[in-house]
Structure 1
Amino acid sequence: MKSTIVIHRVTKSVSGEGNVVRASAELLRERGVETTLATFSPPLDDLGLPHVSAVPFKLRLFDKYQRVLTCISARRTKPDFFLNITAIPIPLSDIATHIIYGVAPEFSSVPSKYNTSWIWMAYLLPLRGLLKRFREEARRSVFIANSAYSSKAIREIYGVESTVVYPPVDVTDFLKAFHEEGEPFFVTIGRFEPGKRLDLAVRLSSMSGVRGVIVGSMESDSYMKKLVRLSRELKADVQFLPNLPRNSLIELMGKASVYFHPTLGEHFGIPIVEAMAAGLVPIVPRESGGFEIVPEFSYNNLEEASELVKKGLNTPASTRRELKDKALSFDRRNFKEKLWNIIDEVIR
């Protein structure tokens, strides 16, 4: 039996999509499925699997369009089924059963940079022209959503129902950092780019009087400088730690009391679960996939977030243990078991 995992790329950075691709490839190897990766340009990471690509050179730009153009290489294959991790229903079902694992479509009403910035809206215009074809393919495919939040958006745009399978979260290292009483500061994790809305963490620190530490990969120097200026203007007690090594991040999580997630419209939020595993209280936007993980710690505005953060500093040990136990339900093993149950039922 053969399967093609359709991906746009596999980055060296830890990302939600990267985790899904790796865990899916691992699952298929364990189940004895002969697996080939299909990409537009060669994968940036070696997963130890054969691959087919449309072009011979590695390309990091035009992420969304690489996803669509993966169709070129995927259609050259003849698998028993496709497992598409791009979230875009490119036309493949006429060749074999098409299973799609996806997040909320960029065209949906979910808040994101794609519907709040004219630059990004212009970037997506050619893709919008393909929506009719995407909807036709979606009706012929099997859709899996990474959260109920994404499932609702998939129904909105493609008109199909989807089964929810939460993405895999490697909580092992963060469990080692678990603690029942932390120091009085919060942590925020996110790439240093405008779309992650890290400025809200700066404003939160100023509003609540609670020290904040912002961690993430450096994507935009100019945005980082804006955050530093904002911190000075608001006299916020914030520390910026770009490109922090994983072991240092885990050490930091082992000291903090609260995790603050600022990004609206986030489909799931892996750092939320990682923080829970370490015993941190996660404060998440109500308008996000994080709400379905911890609705009791969700906010609509910064005023509500400020009160939750201050209360979170004194959260009892019993609640922190409950959060850790809940984080375990999102581990890699559970993801692989649920995903395989769907695949097995579809291809049987």
Structure 2
Amino acid sequence: MREIKKVAVIAHGYGYRGYSGEGKVYLEGVNALKDHNLDYILVTFSKLNINDNEYVVPFKFRRFDKYQRLLVWFAARRIKPLFFLNLSGVPIPLSKISPHIIYAGAPAISSAPTKYSSSLFWKAYLFPFKIIAKKLSEEAKKSYIIANSFYSLRKIEEAYNTRVRKVIYPPVDVDFYKKAFTEKRSEIFLSIGRIEKGKMLENSIKLSAKSGIKGIIIGSLGDRKYLEYLYRLVKELEANIEIYTDLASDKILEIMKIASVYFHPTIGEHFGIPVIESMSAGLIPIVPRESGSYEIVPEYSYNNLDEASSLLKNVIYTDIKTRKELSEKADFFNSKRFKDQLYAEISNFIK
């Protein structure tokens, strides 16, 4: 074991391309250290093209994300840092080496609905992970856990029978998305999320078919077979939906300028960074009641697609005053607030 006078940042998927809220957390978590001149080393699953990097495999590999969060332990255990800042969320056993700070969303082993509870295939995929993760409760109790929402706090405490010390909402680039704030809007709703089954984007297609209102789906392509399924569902339901993958940021802004409503389709979402991004741009958010987003805009929440359809029809022509109020509300979630709050917690571990 190599002792180092640095912070070990555990970010198993650091450097992956494509839109990712977790990627934003990695970036701003590292920036919080940089802002205070703290030396750090990145601990990842795949090798990065940087000097200060402990890794598990020397090549890029994006599959089996849940297991990468566990396997990154093999890289982390080689070093003894000032403390571990674990942004990958799983309480891998590190507290015997150095203090272990974990920033986490609702764990996959909790009762939160996810793609892993949607079919026998996904249940089988997650089964070994659940067995291992349940044995990590003692590590969770020894670690300093920060949740990304109060929804996640409840799910973490339920899953690991432990106490969460703090809630810090994730960082959002609100100033960038404010560039899309316009007064003229079309009768269109927007959904944003990685093109993978866990994001439940089929709910957006069903909402369009149910409401008769046009929808646009934007996301980085993670699962081509799932994308093909979405296209088939559009035809089957005769839904008025357009799907765009891997768009540049300026193209996303152009779509945000014309859409009137943002619909978040993911039940059990830990937080939902696109919800805040869309609020910044002046869209009216519609979010699942079973999610962290509900804490932010409970007045725009739904339990099922019938409720979402009625809500969509009611808010599609919301006045500009309300849109401005929601955009101002989104300002709280800026990156500086995240970095300041995170540093305030980790500063207690700096010797």
* Global fold match (TM > 0.5): yes
2:15 pairs with 1:7: no
- One of 100, 108, 114 as aligned partner of 2:116: 114
Q: Distance in 2 between matches of 1:272 and 1:49?
A: 36
Task: Give 1:128's aligned amino acid.
Answer: K
Q: Is the 8 A contact 1:20 1:167 kept in 2?
A: yes
Q: Is the 8 A contact 2:149 2:292 kept in 1?
A: yes
Q: Deviation at 1:132? A: 4.7
Between Structure 1 and Structure 2, how many residues are aligned?
A: 345
Q: Which residue of 1 aligns with 2:65?
A: 63
Q: Which residue of 1 aligns with 2:194?
A: 191
Q: Deviation at 1:59? A: 2.3
Q: Which residue of 2 aligns with 1:326?
A: 329
Stretches of structure 2 that go unaligned for 5 or more consecutive residues are none
Q: Which residue of 1 aligns with 2:271?
A: 268
For residues 84-122 of structure 1, the C-alpha deviation after alignment (integer angstroms, 9 at most, x for no partner) is 011111111111110000111111100001122222222
Q: Which residue of 1 aligns with 2:298?
A: 295
For residues 25-72 of structure 1, the C-alpha deviation after alignment (integer angstroms, 9 at most, x for no partner) is 1111111111001123214xx5x6611113323322222222112111
CA RMSD after TM alignment: 1.6
Q: Which residue of 2 aligns with 1:36?
A: 41
Report which stretch shifted further, 326-335 or 54-63.
54-63
Q: Secondary structure at the match of 1:188?
A: strand
Cα 1:299–1:32 change in 2 (3 A) is same
Q: Distance in 1 between matches of 2:206 and 2:130?
A: 35
Stretches of structure 1 that go unaligned for 5 or more consecutive residues are none
Q: Distance in 1 between matches of 2:236 and 2:130?
A: 41
Q: Deviation at 1:188? A: 1.1
- One of 260, 285, 291 as aligned partner of 1:282: 285
Q: Deviation at 1:330? A: 0.6
Task: Give 2:31's aligned amino acid.
Answer: E
Q: Provide TM-score, normalisation by structure 2.
A: 0.94
For residues 145-188 of structure 1, the C-alpha deviation after alignment (integer angstroms, 9 at most, x for no partner) is 11111111100111122211011111222101112341111111
Report which stretch shifted further, 126-135 or 259-268.
126-135
Matches within 5 A, 1:147-166: 147-162=149-164, 163-166=166-169
Matches within 5 A, 1:18-167: 18-43=23-48, 50-162=52-164, 163-167=166-170
2:173 pairs with 1:170: yes
For residues 209-232 of structure 1, the C-alpha deviation after alignment (integer angstroms, 9 at most, x for no partner) is 211111112233333333333323
Q: Distance in 2 between matches of 1:233 and 1:64?
A: 32
Q: Distance in 1 between matches of 2:255 and 2:75?
A: 43
Q: Distance in 2 between matches of 1:14 and 1:49?
A: 25
Q: Distance in 2 between matches of 1:300 and 1:239?
A: 25
Q: Distance in 2 between matches of 1:7 and 1:229?
A: 35
Cα 1:224–1:71 change in 2 (3 A) is closer
Cα 1:72–1:194 change in 2 (3 A) is closer
For residues 252-290 of structure 1, the C-alpha deviation after alignment (integer angstroms, 9 at most, x for no partner) is 101111011111011111111110000000101111111
Cα 1:226–1:131 change in 2 (3 A) is closer
Q: Provide TM-score, normalisation by structure 1.
A: 0.94
Cα 1:192–1:39 change in 2 (3 A) is closer
2:235 pairs with 1:221: no
Q: Is the 8 A contact 2:44 2:56 kept in 1?
A: yes
Cα 1:135–1:240 change in 2 (3 A) is same
Q: Is the 8 A contact 1:279 1:320 kept in 2?
A: yes
Q: Which residue of 1 aligns with 2:211?
A: 208
Report which stretch shifted further, 176-185 or 331-340.
176-185
Q: Secondary structure at the match of 2:116?
A: coil
Task: Give 1:2's aligned amino acid.
Answer: K
The alignment-based identity, stated in percent, is 47
Q: Is the 8 A contact 2:105 2:149 kept in 1?
A: yes
